[in-house]
Amino acid sequence: MDETTVDNHLYAELWSASARAWNTPAAEPSGRPRPSLISFTYGLPDAATFPSEELTGAASLVLREHAATALQYGSIHGSHRLIAALIHKLKDDEGLDLDPNQVMITNGSSGALSQVARVLLDPGDYMVAEAPSFLGAVNSFRRAQAQIIEVPLDSDGIRIDALEHALRAAHAAGRRVKFLYVMPNYQNPSGVTLSFPRRHDLLDLAAEYRTLILEDDAYRDIRFEGDALPSLFGIDALGDIRGHVIRTGTFSKILAAGLRLGWVIAPEPIIRKLAAFKDDGGTSPFSSAIAAAYIEAGELGPHIEQLQQHYKRKRDAMLRALRQHFPPSVSWSEPVGGFFIWLTLPDHLDARTLLPIAHEEGVDYLPGAACFASDSGSNNIRLAYSQPSLDDIEEGIKRLGRVLTASL
């Protein structure tokens, strides 16, 4: 999901506060120079990783050989070449056998999630989201006027006992939950990964309560260690339970965010329904042609391996700095992939109250309250290590450590 597309009121306020801090004249009340702002707020890909030269070559090839189609309106389902390339990737990576009619290209994963919310949710519908959850998706569900039931996470992902209780309570009230929104891999914002047993338990509950699962898998390829767990879609497709999962993904994290390319895979009847309400004249035909040419040239696999190494170095640098500079009363997640680390402060600290103090110190972050549909998470902070340099990660965590230590 794409950080800059969100219009959540709290997030907008935080963005404005960050911009003010960044542009404030460099002088504090004490008279000492204000340090330049180091931001851990947004999960933006590192621009240094964009394969500009290779994409330039792909674009040149497209314009020489495929201009007539690449520069024209496209299929509502998306580029056939890109769909074919994606199907090939998912077959190689996960053993999935997909029909092209099960795939639709979207305007980033933000477009996929928004389309699902727009088509499947009616005002007042019940749905489940993890707590905490990705605020951009939650905002899409709010715009659809859904009733969002939050289910807490622990170190193994969404708590199955709490989810079963929530589904049972909704059923007892005569309400069917439309879908369960989960991020099973390196969840945004918590960084946790849904364990293998819980993936099966989640599918069993979805089948029992006749609800769909919306699987947001934006960070799957940004894995630092261990083997990838099978997706919920993959388990569902290979098992006795079929047709319960809608899965979304994106090229923003593994290729270039500016291409604005994501995707959704689902049973064919669901794709048909989603496509019937898609009115973009074909998602980014030119960008799709460039991405397809890049993938067909065999560039994407080696590039993903480089990304994994690149972002692992950044994660490791942030974890080292946290251990060195943070007070022992603060705890954090240790993700095995993705872009984020989730902090838990002592209960009496409010991350929103501390934010202006952090700005004075020259560091920015996302208060955890932005990641809940309810009024929770006041003592949480999300830190993104994806964009800052290694030096800025070290310095920024040192600054934030001073803020927290002084506030205890």
Q: Where in the chain are the domains?
A: 3-50+302-407, 67-299
CA dist list (Å): 214 to 117, 128, 154, 207: 10, 10, 19, 13
Dist CA 191 CA 335 (whole Å): 5
Q: Tokens representing 295?
A: 């993938």
Higher pLDDT, 396 or 12: 396
pLDDT band of 375, cuts 50, 70, 90: confident
Mean pLDDT calculated for residue range 336-349? 98
Instruction: Look up the pTM and report it.
Output: 0.91
Query: Is pLDDT at 64 greater than 60 in this prediction?
Result: yes
The tally of CA atoms less than 13 A away on the side-chain side of residue 274 is: 27
**pLDDT value at residue 35:** 75
Residue 383 has pLDDT above 70, yes or no: yes
Identify the pLDDT of residue 32: 55
The band of 13, judged by pLDDT with boundaries at 50, 70 and 90, is very low
Per the structure block, which two tokens stand in for 360? 């004075």
Q: How much is the average pLDDT of 310-334?
A: 98
- Length of the chain, please? 408
Cα 136 from chain centre: 9
pLDDT-derived band at 7 (thresholds 50, 70, 90) equals very low
As a whole number, mean pLDDT of residues 44-71 equals 97
What's the confidence (pLDDT) of residue 240?
Answer: 59
pLDDT surpasses 60 at 133: yes
pLDDT tens, 155-198?
A: 999 999 999 999 999 999 999 999 999 999 999 999 999 999 99
pLDDT number for residue 238: 77
- Three-state SS letters, the chain: CCHHHCCCHHHHHHHHHHHHHHHCCCCCCCCCCCCCCEECCCCCCCHHHCCHHHHHHHHHHHHHHCHHHHCCCCCCCCCHHHHHHHHHHHHHHHCCCCCHHHEEEECHHHHHHHHHHHHHCCCCCEEEEEECCCHHHHHHHHHCCCEEEEEEEECCEECHHHHHHHHHHHHHCCCCEEEEEECCCCCCCCCCCCCHHHHHHHHHHHHHCCCEEEEECCCCCCECCCCCCCCHHHHHHHCCCCCCEEEEEECCCCCCHHHCCEEEECCHHHHHHHHHCCCCCCCCHHHHHHHHHHHHCCCHHHHHHHHHHHHHHHHHHHHHHHHHHCCCCCEECCCCECCEEEEECCCCCCHHHHHHHHHHHCEECEEHHHHCCCCCCCCEEEEECCCCCHHHHHHHHHHHHHHHHHHC
pLDDT digits (tens, 9 = 90+) for 195-233: 999 999 999 999 999 999 999 999 999 999 999 999 999
For the chain, the average pLDDT equals: 92
Q: What per-residue string of b and e applies to 257-295 under the rule 16 or more CB within 10 Å gives b?
A: bebbbbbbbbbeebbeebbeebeeebbbbbbbbbbbbbb
User: What mean pLDDT do residues 288-317 have?
Assistant: 98
Is the CATH code 3.30.930.10 the one for domain 3-50+302-407?
Answer: no
What CATH number labels 67-299?
A: 3.40.640.10
Each residue of 83-110: pLDDT tens digit?
999 999 999 999 999 999 999 999 999 9
pLDDT, mean of residues 136-162? 96
**Nearest-angstrom CA–CA distance, 233 and 262:** 16
Q: Where does the pLDDT of residue 243 fall: very low under 50, low under 70, confident under 90, or very high at 90 and above?
A: confident
Reported as a pLDDT band with limits 50, 70 and 90, residue 28 is: very low
| 132 token code pair | 């905490």
Q: What is the pLDDT of residue 281?
A: 85
Percent of the chain with pLDDT over 90: 88
pLDDT for residue 208: 94
24 pLDDT band (50/70/90 cuts)?
very low
* φ, ψ for residue 223, nearest 5 deg: -110, 135
Instruction: List the single range of 24-38, 122-136, 252-266, 370-384 with lowest mean pLDDT.
Output: 24-38
Between the CA of residue 391 and those of 139, 314, 318, 397, 398, what are the distances in Å? Answer: 34, 10, 10, 10, 11
How confident is the model over 72-80, as a mean pLDDT?
95
